[in-house]
Amino acid sequence: MLNTPPKLYDLCLDIAVEANVSVSKFWKKEFRSLPNNVLFDFYYKMFLEKRLCLLAIELSELEIFNRILSVKHQRTKFLKSFQSLIDHGANNADLLIKAYVVHCQESDPDDLNSIEIGLRIGSFFNEGGLFSYSIEILNIVEEICKRRERGETTLKMLLDCYHKRIYAETIYCEFEKAAETCKSSSEVIKELEALDALPNLAGLYANYSFLFFVRSEYDEAYSWAIEALRLVNEDLPPRIVIEVLRQASKSCVVKRKFTPAGLLISQAVNMASELYKVDNHPHYSDTLLDYGFYLLNFDSIQESVKVYEKALLIRKEVFQKNNIRVALGHEDLAYALYVYEYSSGRFYEAREHVERSVRIMERILPEDHHLLASVKRVKALILEEIALDERNNSSLQSQYFNEAHTLHNAALNLCFKAFGEKNVQTAKHYGNLGRLFQSMKMYEDAEKMHLKAIAIKEELLGENDYEVGLSIGHLASLYNYHMKRHKDAEKLYLRSISINLKLFGETYSGLEYDYRGLINIYTKLVDSSNMIYYMFKMREWKNLRETIQPIEHDCELKPVKQVITKFFEMTE
């Protein structure tokens, strides 16, 4: 097959950049007279040709940057080229914020254009993982709005500002500020209600849910997700509908409502694949990560790994490596691989991904940033399992254990600082320390940590939650294999089995550890009838596991109203 000859348009771009873009000759005034879409192509060609210094100068000017933002169908390319400038050492985000401040000072206070520019830049920074910059510029937008008369148009713009800022503050772990932004947005909602001018709040409510979800306040997260779903209609932009479906699915997962969660996230993936099929926008990877989260929690671990891998590839294609979105992608994949390889002991791929995530975060975040808590926890879990395989090298094993201990303590301290003790995340860190102390043969310390984790989880989630069952199973293992408290362990295993059967059914992978534990207990107690019974249950469980078919993604794109109606039929 003959190669397709280059288009005349592309040849002109090549010549324009080759002949007219250099330090000594750059006819920027002439090129800036081009239409916005042609100007974008010209700048993107500069990026491809590595004319990054001159490109950074061009894109530090607010007027030019705003023109390029208007070319919405090229957003993924713009994100990619802007990230390349950051990697090159340019400080374009800082320069744009400074230019925006000057622009606002010099503009007519009655001109809404300044607010619109700030909102567009804030959205772009959110898409690009530049959350601290997004927060900074949206703070300026808020102040401009507050100085204006609080009419309908200004209030709607202020609400849009809060919508975007809640997302940035939440994902960047500025939880107290996000809560304040939620409070401010609720006041604006009341003012708009009084004017009978309330816009659709589905996207805003989804961000409320996101904040409570990240803070592990799952009942509130679920409630706001339901409120968001009730407001979804065919007139909403597809991007907002996808965000609502994603967040509602995650909220269902942590409430262990897997069937409705699967319904929602399947629709979100289908919509995102259609909406972003041309340019593989990072928003598509966000949806895939939430699908991976659903699969992982639904015990479809191998399938979740594949989805996480695809999501990470999309992010790396756009952002390369020095971006928080790439770091989070590596972390999610590392944890999925850790769970997937738990029985095999091959944790080196998981370790590689988590260490890449840590390196990126430490490079671009403050050293005590809360985002480091989760990734340090994942690295500690992986190192603990690697240490257990180093039985013949006590020195190396001790090194791994000590590093895992340091990481777990650091993660616990960050979590305690953000949430206090009465929080599910804090409880998880106590439980992780309990498992580590168990591996390090510090059994009394391990018991204290497990009991703390169970008490907090029971208080917050109830006695029959999955998280409670997980911690009960860990304490049962400690009593069974190390402290020889077999009767205590027996009660805990039976309780763990009851929780797991209720939530997941007879094929749940975690039942293996409960059944093995009971077989060991009854062997030690010389209780042959119960030992034989659970050996039979174990064999039955294995046979059932062999019949499991991988989850097949429903690729049919259904009407949104139909999906949401079916969801409420399932849950009410």
| pLDDT one-digit tens code per residue, 474-531 | 999 999 999 999 999 999 999 999 999 998 889 888 899 999 999 999 999 999 999 9
| Confidence at residue 154, expressed as pLDDT on a 0 to 100 scale | 96
What DSSP line would sit under 283-341, residue for residue? HHHHHHHHHHHHHHHTT-HHHHHHHHHHHHHHHHHHH-SSSHHHHHHHHHHHHHHHHHT
Question: Which element (helix H / strand E) includes 401?
Answer: helix 394-419
Give residue-wise pLDDT tens across range 246-287: 999 999 999 989 999 999 999 999 999 999 988 889 999 999
Q: pLDDT higher for 555 or 271?
A: 271
Q: What is the pLDDT of residues 276-305, one digit of tens each?
A: 988 889 999 999 999 999 999 998 999 999
Which of 23-27, 117-121, 236-240, 338-342 is predicted with the least confidence, judged by mean pLDDT? 23-27
8 A C-beta contact, residue 507 and residue 544: yes
131: tokens are 């959350």
Closest among 336, 375, 337, 370 to 354, alpha carbons compared = 375
* CATH superfamily ID and name for 440-552: Tetratricopeptide repeat domain (1.25.40.10)
Q: Which amino acid is residue 442, in one-letter code?
A: M
Highest mean pLDDT: which range of 31-35, 40-44, 532-536: 532-536
Burial of 543 (0-12, 13-18, 19+ CB in 10 A): exposed
**Mean pLDDT in residue range 371-385:** 96
Q: Is 2's pLDDT higher than 60?
A: no
The predicted structure's pLDDT at residue 314: 96
Residue, of 222 and 555, whose pLDDT is higher: 222
Instruction: Judge whether residue 403 has pLDDT over 60.
Output: yes
SS3 of 500-529: the string is: HHHHHCCCCCCHHHHHHHHHHHHHHCCCHH
Nearest to 210 by CA among 222, 198, 197: 222
Closest CA to 528 of 511, 493, 536: 536
- Write down the mean pLDDT value for the chain: 93
Type of residue at 385: E
348-376: burial string, b at 16+ Cβ within 10 Å, e else = ebbbebbebbbebbeebbeeebbbbbbbb
Instruction: Please tell me the number of Cα atoms within 13 Å of 105 on its side-chain side.
Output: 6
Cβ distance 403 to 383 under 8 Å?
yes
Report whether 127 contacts 282 (CB < 8 A). Answer: yes
Q: Are 427 and 452 in contact (CB under 8 A)?
A: yes
SS3 of residue 21 by DSSP:
strand
Alpha-carbon distances of 477 from 82, 149, 434, 447, 488, rounded to whole Å: 51, 64, 11, 10, 10
DSSP alpha helix (H) spans, 420-554: 424-439, 443-461, 466-481, 486-504, 511-524, 528-546
Q: What is the pLDDT of residue 1?
A: 46
Q: What is the arithmetic mean of pLDDT over 130-138?
A: 98
Cα–Cα distance measured from residue 52 to residue 88, given in angstroms and rounded to the nearest whole number? 8
pTM to 2 decimal places? 0.93
Q: pLDDT band at residue 113, thresholds of 50, 70 and 90? A: very high
pLDDT at 23: 59
Q: Who has greater pLDDT, 344 or 294?
A: 294
Rounded to an integer, what distance in angstroms lies between the CA atom of residue 275 and that of residue 278?
Answer: 8
| Per-residue pLDDT, 109 | 79
